Structure 1
Amino acid sequence: MPPRVSQSTSAHELAALIGPVEALPGPRYAGLARRVRELVTGGTLPPGSRLPAERELAAALGASRVTVASAYRRLRDDGFAVTRHGSGTVTELPRAGAGWGPPTTDPTVLDLGHAAPEAAAQLLPAYEQALARLPAHAAQHGYASTGLPELRAAIAERFTARGLPTDADQVVVTAGTGDATAVVLDALLQPGDRVLVEHPTYPGAIGLVTAAGGRCVPAPVDAADPDALVESVHLVARQSNPRLAFLMPDFSNPTGARLSAAGRRRLGATLWQQGVLTVADEVTAELHLDDGPLPPFAAGLPDAATVTVGGLSKAVWGGLRIGWLRTDAALAGRLGAALNRRQLSVGVLDQLAATTVIRQLDAVLEQRRETLRQRRAVLLEELARRLPDWSAPCPGGGLSVWCRLPPGSSSAALAAAAAPRGLVLAEGSLFGTGEAFDDHLRLPFTLPPEQLRAAVGLLAQVDTELRERPSGAGRPARAATVV
C-alpha cells in the first residue's frame, strides 16, 4: 500500500534540489528520474512526499513536459512513486518483500541476505562430550530455569577474562542473542516507550522493539568516524528521553563500525548519566579481524547501567541456540523471572555442549577469524572486479560489508530482481527505521569462496540489467518474503 501523503514539495523547491537539468547524465528523463531517486533514498524526499505537477516542474526546470512525464513514469515503474487519485504523484520506496524471513535451507540458493557461517569444527566433539554427560542430568527433571550452573559459571569466567568481573548470578542463559534482547524489551518496556537505536541497525532489533510496544529513535552511525555516535546519542537522548538504548559497540550490524575504547567509555557514561539503560549486543564483539580486542562496553560502568547480551550463533553456529544476558544480580533475577514466564528452560544438551565450547572459545575464534579474513578478501576482490562503481569499505571485523550503491541504484530493486535467479539479498531499507538506506546493500562474507564468487557474479548481472532496462519495462516482481 502506498505511504500516507506527509508533505508537498513545490516545483521550485524540487528544481533547486535537482539542480541544472542540463548537467544530468544520460537521457534527460532518465537522469531526472535518477536524481529524484537519490533524493528519495537519501531521505530528502521521504516516502509520502507529493511531487509537483508535471507542467509546474517542467517550467521550473526549463525542461519539456514530456521529459518530466517520462521521468515520473520511470519512477513509477521502478517503484519510487505512485499516482493516487486526489494526491497526484507521491514518492515511495519499492519493497522486495513484506518482511525479513529466516535463512533458506535450499542448497541451490545463494544466500547473501543473512550473515550465518557454517558450524565451527569444535561443535560436533562438544556435542559428543555433552551426550556422555547427559545421563547424569537425565535422572533429574531436566529444567534449568536461568541456565545450568556450570554454563553460567563458564560465561561469567569469560566476561571476567575479558575485563568485566562477573559472578554466575549476574548471568541468565537464553535461547540465543535475540531471545536475550527480547527478554529485556518485554520485561522493561511499556507501550509507547522510546528505544534509542543506531541508524542503520540490525533489523531484528527494530522488530523486537516494535513487538514489545516500543518506538525506535534513530541516532546516525558513521562507519568512517564511529566515535561520532557519542555526540549524536547525547543529542538524541536529550531530545527524546528514551527508556532504553540498543547498541552494537563492536562491528555494528550492518555498518561494521566499532567504537574506540575511549568512545565506549564516554558513550556508556553519557547514557548512564541521562538515566538510559543500555542493551549492548556483543554477538560479534570477538570477531575482530584486523585490530585486537577492546574492553566490553559495560567495563567501568555500574553493573546496573548495562544489560550485555551475547551468544554463540556467529562464533560457533546458528543452530546452537545458546545466548545470555549479563547485568547486576538484582536485574538479572528480574529478567530471569520474566524468561521463566515464557519458557521453563533452554535445552540441557545444548547447554552442556555450549559449556564445552565456551571453555575452548579462544581456539574456536582463532579459526573463525582466519576463515572470515579469507572470505572478506574474496568478497572485496570480487566486488572491485565485477562492480567497480560500488563503494565497499573494508570492515575491521564482523561478518559483512555495508556497500553504498551508485547514484540512482536501488537495493530494493536489486533484491526483487535477484530473487528469481536464486540469489537472496536483504535490501538496505530493512536496516533503517524510516525507509532510508535503499542506496545501500549489506553483503555478508560468510559463504565459502566459490559461492561468494558466484553470488557476486549474479549480482553484477542483475545490476547491469537494471541499469539497461528501458523506461516503461515494468518494475521488478516483488517476492513474498526475503528468505
Structure 2
Amino acid sequence: MDSRISARALAAALGGWRTREPAYEALADGIRLLCLDNRLAPRTALPAEREAAIALQLSRSTVAAAYRSLRETGHIASLRGSGSVTLPLQRRDPGRTTAAAEGTIDLQQASPPAWPGLAGIIGEVAGSAAALVSRVGYDVLGSIELREAIARHYDRRGIPTSPSEVLVTTGAQSAIHLVASVLLGRGDRVLVETPTYPHAVDALRRAGARLVGVPVTTDDGWDLDRAEQAFARTLPVLAYLMPDFQNPTGRSMTAEERDVFLRAGERAGSVLVLDETTADLDIDRPPVAAGFGGGDPATVVRIGSLGKTVWGGLRVGWIRAEGDLVRRFMAARPAHDLGTPEFEQAVAAALFEDFAGIAAQRSALLRAGRDALVDALHREVPEWRVPRAHGGVSLWIELDAALSSALVMDVRSHGVLLSAGPRFSVDGGHDRHLRVPFTAPPDELVRAVSLLGASWRRVRAGAPVSIIDQLESVV
C-alpha cells in the first residue's frame, strides 16, 4: 500500500457522483472513473465504510455495496488490516471496454496520427546512422543543429531567439517536470487555468505546488479580473498558461489578455510558463500577435514539442528561456534524465526544414475532423452547446445536465473512451462539460458521436430527479 485517501478528500474528488440509481452503483462508477483517470493511484487505501458513509451522507450499507461492486470488477481488494485498497488496472479493465478491444474508439488521447512524411524523414536520418553512432548518443542541452532550428522557428513567429536560449527535452511533459522542479519549492503557489491540461497539474503538484485556479471559458476567455486579483493576493511563483488553443477549451488569448497576464505577472514577480504544444495547430484563427513582450522578458518561459504537430511517439520537446534559466535547467536535468537521444534530435531538425508544409497538412487534417465532429454533434445531441474551435485538438462541450462522469462510464462500455470534465478541473467541478478531441478520422468521430448520443439518452433518462430539478432551475 503506497498511500491513503481520507473520506473528505474522496468526497471532494468524486464531485457530483450521484448521477444515477441505485446509489451504490453510481458511487462505484465514480470511484472507477477516478482509478481510470489515475486520480486514485494504485494501492491507495480507501476510507473505511463508516467514514465514507458520513462524508458522503449515505448509509453504511450503500458504501459497502459500492465497495463490493468494485471488488467484483477487480478495481479494489480488501486486505486484512488495511481495509479496501485500489488495484493496478489490468490490460483489460474488468467489466469495461478498453483501448485494446477491437472496434474501440479511443478519444482519451487528443493526438493526431503521425504526419505522413515522417517515415521518409526517419529513413533518411537512418541512412546517416554511422555518423550518429560515433557520438555519445545523447546530451543534456541538445544538439546545436536542433537548437538553431528551434530558434529560427521562434524568429519566424516574431520572437527573436538565440540557440543559447533553447534546451531540448524528451517531450513537453519532461520539460514541465524540469521547470517545476527547478522553479518551485514545496508550498509555493502556482496560478493555473481551470480547466487545464491534467498532466501539467500532476507535475506541478508533484513538485509541491499549491494551485490557484483562474477560470477560462469557450465564450468569454480568461477571467481577467480574477487573474489580476489572484496575482496580487497570492503572489504566485509561476503561472502555467496555454495561450494558444488552450487544452481543453480550444480558446486563444487576445492581445489584451496576453498583456494583462504579462503585466500582472511582472507586478507579482511571477514567471509565466507558456505551454505552446498546441500553438501551431491553427485551422482558421484570425491573425494574432505573439504577445507577452515580443522578444520575451526574462520572466517568460516557453515550452514546445513536436508531439501534436508531428507524432506523439517522437519524444522531442524544448524549453525557451533566458540564458541564466537555461543554465539552471541544464544543471538540474541529470537528476531527471541524461539528455535527449541524438537520433530523435536529428529527425526533429530535419522536420523543421519543412515545418510550414507540416503545419498546412495538420491544419487540413484537423479541419476535416472538427467539421465532421461539429456536424455530427448538432445532429445527434442538438441540446448540447458546441463551441467554435479555430484550432487545437478538441471541443469543450457544455452538456445540458451535470452528468459528464456518468456519460463517460456508460459510453465506455459501448466502445468509446473519453475523459470526463472533472479530469480537467483544478478545484472541482466541470461535471457539465465533456472534452471530445477531433484528431481521429472523420468516420470514427461520426460513429463515436452516434454512440455518445445513445449513451446520453440512457444516462439522462436514468438520472435522479434532483439532477433534473437542478437543470431546470438553471434554465
TM-score computed with the length of structure 2 as normaliser: 0.79
Relative distance call for 1:423 and 1:85 in structure 2 (3 A) is closer
CA distance in 2, matches of 1:105, 1:239: 47
Contact 1:248 1:281 (C-alpha < 8 Å) held by counterparts? yes
What is aligned with 1:331? 325
CA distance in 1, matches of 2:301, 2:90: 27
Contact 1:6 1:48 (C-alpha < 8 Å) held by counterparts? no
What is aligned with 1:304? 298
What is aligned with 1:14? none
What is aligned with 2:373? 379
CA distance in 2, matches of 1:178, 1:147: 16
What is aligned with 1:465? 458
Relative distance call for 1:354 and 1:73 in structure 2 (3 A) is closer
CA distance in 2, matches of 1:283, 1:101: 30
Contact 1:249 1:297 (C-alpha < 8 Å) held by counterparts? no
How far 1:376 sits from its partner (Å)?
Answer: 0.4
Contact 2:118 2:310 (C-alpha < 8 Å) held by counterparts? yes
What is aligned with 2:431? 438
What is aligned with 1:345? 339
What is aligned with 1:108? 103
Letter in 2 for 1:422: G
Are positions 1:257 and 2:251 aligned together? yes
Relative distance call for 1:331 and 1:74 in structure 2 (3 A) is same
- For the pair shown, which has the larger CA radius of gyration, 1 or 2? 1
Choose from 209, 217, 224 the match for 1:230. Answer: 224
What is aligned with 1:89? 57
What is aligned with 1:186? 181
How far 1:126 sits from its partner (Å)?
Answer: 1.5
Are positions 1:120 and 2:88 aligned together? no
The residue correspondences of 1:30-429 to structure 2 (distance < 5 A) are 47=15, 78-79=26-27, 89=57, 104=99, 108-226=103-221, 228-300=222-294, 302-407=296-401, 409-429=402-422
How far 1:320 sits from its partner (Å)?
Answer: 0.6
Relative distance call for 1:100 and 1:452 in structure 2 (3 A) is farther
Relative distance call for 1:426 and 1:86 in structure 2 (3 A) is closer
Contact 1:200 1:432 (C-alpha < 8 Å) held by counterparts? yes
Structure 2, unaligned runs of 5 or more: 32-48, 60-65, 76-85, 92-97, 466-475
Relative distance call for 1:362 and 1:301 in structure 2 (3 A) is closer
How far 1:86 sits from its partner (Å)?
Answer: 5.3
How far 1:470 sits from its partner (Å)?
Answer: 7.6
How far 1:462 sits from its partner (Å)?
Answer: 1.1
CA distance in 1, matches of 2:124, 2:160: 28
- SS class of match (1:201): coil
The residue correspondences of 1:19-38 to structure 2 (distance < 5 A) are none
Structure 1, unaligned runs of 5 or more: 8-39, 50-69, 473-483
- SS class of match (1:304): coil
How far 1:132 sits from its partner (Å)?
Answer: 2.2
Relative distance call for 1:462 and 1:355 in structure 2 (3 A) is same
CA distance in 2, matches of 1:322, 1:72: 44
Identity of aligned residues (%): 32
CA distance in 1, matches of 2:424, 2:89: 10
Contact 2:159 2:290 (C-alpha < 8 Å) held by counterparts? yes
Show CA shifts across 1:426-447 (max 9, x none): 0100100222101100000000
Contact 1:286 1:293 (C-alpha < 8 Å) held by counterparts? no
How far 1:140 sits from its partner (Å)?
Answer: 2.0
- SS class of match (1:4): helix
CA distance in 2, matches of 1:352, 1:371: 26
What is aligned with 1:10? none
Letter in 1 for 2:155: T
CA distance in 2, matches of 1:125, 1:412: 42
CA distance in 1, matches of 2:16, 2:214: 22
Letter in 2 for 1:451: E
CA distance in 1, matches of 2:249, 2:123: 37
Show CA shifts across 1:197-219 (max 9, x none): 00111111111111111121100
- SS class of match (1:117): coil
CA distance in 2, matches of 1:332, 1:398: 28
Letter in 1 for 2:127: A
How far 1:295 sits from its partner (Å)?
Answer: 3.2
Contact 1:3 1:47 (C-alpha < 8 Å) held by counterparts? no
Show CA shifts across 1:281-335 (max 9, x none): 0111121211245333444365411110010111111011110000101101111
Aligned residues: 412
TM-score computed with the length of structure 1 as normaliser: 0.78
CA distance in 1, matches of 2:389, 2:19: 37
Contact 2:236 2:268 (C-alpha < 8 Å) held by counterparts? no
Choose from 5, 8, 21 the match for 1:4. Answer: 8
How far 1:336 sits from its partner (Å)?
Answer: 1.7
What is aligned with 2:448? 455
Show CA shifts across 1:167-193 (max 9, x none): 001000001111111110011110111
Segment of structure 1 superposing worse, 323-332 or 137-146: 137-146
